[in-house]
Amino acid sequence: MLHSSGERPPYPRNLDTVKHATETPDVEQPWSELGLKQDEYERIREILGRRPTGAELAMYSVMWSEHCSYKSSKVHLKQFGEKAPENDAMLVGIGENAGVVDVGQGYAVTFKVESHNHPSYIEPYQGAATGVGGIVRDILAMGARPVAVMDPLRFGAADHPDTKRVLPGVVAGIGGYGNCLGLPNIGGEVVFDDCYQGNPLVNALCVGVMKHEDIHLAKASGTGNKVILYGARTGGDGIGGVSVLASETFESTGPAKRPAVQVGDPFQEKLLIECTLEIFKENLVAGIQDLGGAGLSCATSELASAGSGGMRVELDTVPLRDATLSPEEILMSESQERMCAIVEPDKVDRFLEICEKWDVIATVIGEVTEGDRLEIFWHGEQIVDVPPRSVAHEGPTYHRPYERPSWQDALQADDANKLPRPASGAELKEQVLKLVASPNQASKSWITDQYDRFVQGNTVLAQPEDSGMIRIDADTNLGVAVATDGNGRYAKLDPYAGAQLALAEAYRNVATTGAKPLAVSDCLNFGSPEDPAVMWQFAEATRGLADACQTLGTPVTGGNVSLYNQTGETAIHPTPVVAVLGVIDDVTRRTPVAFKEEGQLLYLLGDTKEEFGGSAWSQVIHGHLGGLPPAVDLERERLLAEILISASRDGMIDAAHDLSDGGLIQAVVESCLRGGTGARLVVPDGLDAFTFLFSESAGRAVVAVPRSEELRFTDMCGARGLPVTRIGVVDGAESDSNAVVDVQGEFVLSLAELRTAHEETIPALLV
């Protein structure tokens, strides 16, 4: 096995030059061990008109892996471009390291969410840490200063012993890396479900801010321009990791074959950030690319492919941590904390000077050439001579078969609305307590308190608010908000609707805090694309997301696909995680979640129907998953968002919380706990108490309205046609020990009791 530590690659140690490859066409090559299929290997031979050298084979194999080439997914991802809504705010779309959105006042914001699932299962701390490191470099490579991170996470059952191993390690890794970089963590998700046992999902998002004129692209142009590799030395980290980690299931990878894991060095990355920003400021780069999966293979071929000329690289000039690395290994190494820049010759000295100032190693490793070949040399001998596009952008495309699974009908027919419901106020009360204490609904502060949310001094909102919000200009109070959401249970019941519900929820979360949703990034976590049922889920989810983005006017700007999340035959729930970015002109107008002022009126916005398919209630009380997810009404989501934004801008509401998993009661309890207040609720006419409290109908939010604003607010909702129902009042303060959640005629729960139930679950499971 190529990547098991200590062993050498299975091909000849003596240098396999281009000349040698031409002369020895019949040499056996380990294309299969490197994850290539027979026809892919044949295609490489066809492109080159000869057999590839070992180094070329290494490059093609990593770049044509599922992870780098999106070969199974790209026919579906195309829709994000084809159906992209007109949006003047888009400055850079899909295809670059991350999309860029205009947020006004000359500012541009870039954001992207990515997965680091498999590595985090093997080595939770380092896997998660390097996941953060990777996405931060993507953002940096666009020319932006990274300003915040988020971490949507999914684990197996909360009480499973392996969750005790994986979760604390992942959280420590995300915190250890992000905290050390000085990036506030402003939100994310923590979801537990059996389906993620053995396949935890560790997604990481980063947001960056720049001025329009600072946008940088990953391309190498200008003959004679220098290629500079800077950052950490190259070691044997994760060699083969890209192809092996991302394209095979774990079943086949016993401990003996465990691939090398990358270790992150957040301190080095912090230096890389400051150094790069200073280099940008002095306008010293013509093109730039981070090194992530597939390392130098990826960076050099992508830069050359996107640019106008060719590229020549002297691979033996690459600074090494391990002098015994072969050229193939150097090309495939995934050593972290490295960047590659294209620099005009007369700017090289200044570039190197800035690197020296920040103690960052920088080396000129090559230059942009005339022509259109990527040529790589090892001690003067040519080992790579390829058309870069064929490596980076013209990899294989699969039209994998997909088919609606046979079990889908039975699953949808297993209607959650028929489950036994609580029959009395006492039973309702018991179920409410169970719900707010269940691992998925419980407070995540044991986790999120391990993340620095204050650093950089611009955090307006952070967890547990509906979206994270960052001020980007201290003089004008311009800010951006981001929320990430995904509900694998909904998506399992209906992947098309599930993806739309994920978008709708993130969109709603952003609007709830007062920001206007602008753009989307997504991380699509699925099982094996070789299973037609999984491929159907994938096709449905992408179609659903693309359609919904079109309707809501929020284009997908970039994202990531993670496949093969499965153990044996069993795939995870299809889990599209959607991030929505919004803008707010004045962050002082943001709407928090907390109910603070006694006497304020509580209004429910939107329609509540009997919708329990995939609900938290069906999971927590009945261990059930079946039926249909809540109906999607995107026009309603848009209207609700407009109302929430207007109400925040005009000071009509003091608090708001979107309704999602757990329904109204979960939202009200969270807002009360956050504000240290109680609430008295009245079941509205036409609804039964159970549906009122637990339904998960989409397109809803609860708001706290000062009495002086009541008329103005309800008039606005009425005029625009949004259903608005008065459901109660904020009453009682925790500090006076008289706060309760009182659902009149049904039950009363003290806030203290609710707090204990909500806050003690996670620590009890993990400590």
Partner 1 sequence: MTARIGVVTFPGTLDDRDTQRAVRLAGAEAVPLWHRDKDLKQVDAVVLPGGFSYGDYLRAGAISRFSPLMETVIDQAKAGLPVLGICNGFQVLTESHLLPGAMLRNNHLHFICRDQKLRVESDRTAWTADYTAGQEISIPLKNIDGRYVADERTLDMLEAEGRVAFRYLARGEAADGYGNPNGSLRDIAGITNEAGNVVGLMPHPEHAVEPGIGTGRTDGLGFFTSILKKLVNV
Partner 2 sequence: MARVVVDVMLKPEILDPQGQAVQRALPRLGFEGISDVRQGKRFELEVDGPLDEAALARIHEMAETFLANTVIEDFVVKVEEAEAVKVES
Q: Which residues are annotated as a binding site for ATP?
A: 70, 112, 522, 559
Q: Choose, by CB under 8 A, the member of 278, 322, 372, 427 that binds partner 2.
A: 322
Residue 533 CB partners (closer than 8 Å, separation 6+): 402, 403, 404, 405, 571
Q: How many residues does the chain have?
A: 767
Please, what is the minimum distance in Å from the beta carbon of residue 459 to partner 1?
Answer: 6
With respect to partner 1, which residue has the nearer C-beta, 357 or 712?
A: 357
Stretch that binds partner 2, among 151-159, 234-242, 374-382, 522-530 (CB under 8 A): 234-242
Beta partners for residue 231, in sequence order: 338
Amino acid occupying residue 410: A
H/E stretch holding 766: helix 751-766
Q: 349 burial class (0-12, 13-18, 19+ CB within 10 angstroms)?
A: exposed
Under rule CB under 8 A, residue 455 binds partner 1: yes
Contact string (CB under 5 A) for Mg ion, positions 644-683, x = contact: --------------x-------------------------
Contact set for Mg ion, span 506-545 (CB under 5 A):
509
Kindly report whether the peptide bond that precedes residue 630 is cis, defined as omega within 30 degrees of 0.
Answer: no
Q: Which is the catalytic residue, given 67, 76, 160, 573?
A: 67
| Binders of partner 2 in range 262-281 (CB under 8 A) | 262-265, 267-268
Residue 260 in contact with partner 2, rule: CB under 8 A? yes
- Partner touching 188 among partner 2, Mg ion, ligand ADP, none, CB below 5 to 8 Å by kind: ligand ADP
Sheet holding 747-750, edge to edge: 655-658, 701-705, 601-605, 724-733, 677-681, 740-743, 747-750
* Residues 222-281 within binding reach of partner 1 (CB under 8 A): 265-268, 270-271
Whether 67 is catalytic is: yes
Who contacts 380 (Cβ-Cβ below 8 Å, separation ≥6)? none
Q: Which is nearer to ligand ADP, 138 or 661 (CB)?
A: 661
Query: What is the Cβ-side half-sphere exposure of residue 215, based on CA atoms within 13 angstroms?
Result: 19
- Give strand pairing partners of 206: 112, 149
Contacts with Mg ion, 474-513, as mask; x by CB under 5 A: -----------------------------------x----
Q: Are 573 and 489 in contact (CB under 8 A)?
A: yes
- Site for partner 2 (CB under 8 A): which residue of 133, 134, 188, 235? 235
DSSP output for 176-198: HHHHHHT--EEEEEEEE-GGGTT
The residues near 324 (Cβ < 8 Å, ≥ 6 apart) are none
The smaller minimum CB distance to partner 1, of residues 168 and 553, is found at 168
Identity of the residue, 96 or 189, whose beta carbon is nearer to ligand ADP in the bound complex = 189
Distance CA 702, CA 592 (A): 12
Pick from ligand ADP, partner 1, partner 2, none: which does 252 bind, CB < 5 to 8 A by kind? Answer: none
Q: Which residue, 236 or 517, has its beta carbon nearer to partner 2?
A: 236
Q: Does 159 bind partner 2 (CB under 8 A)?
A: no
Q: Is 216 a catalytic residue?
A: no
Of 3, 20, 76, 116, the catalytic one is 116
Q: Residues 727-766 vs partner 1: string with x where CB under 8 A? A: --------------------------------x-------
Angle, in degrees to the nearest 10, between helices 74-82 and 532-552: 10
Buried residues in 161-170 as b, exposed as e (16+ CB within 10 A): eebeebbbbb
Q: Which of residues 66-125 bind partner 2 (CB under 8 A)?
A: 122-123
Helix (H) or strand (E) holding 498: helix 495-512
List interacting residues with partner 1 (CB under 8 A).
172, 175-176, 179-182, 265-268, 270-271, 358-359, 445, 449-460, 471, 474, 587-588, 759
List interacting residues with partner 2 (CB under 8 A).
5-6, 122-123, 126, 232, 235-237, 258, 260-265, 267-268, 321-322, 335-336, 359
Instruction: Cite the active site residues.
Output: 67, 116
List interacting residues with Mg ion (CB under 5 A).
466, 509, 658
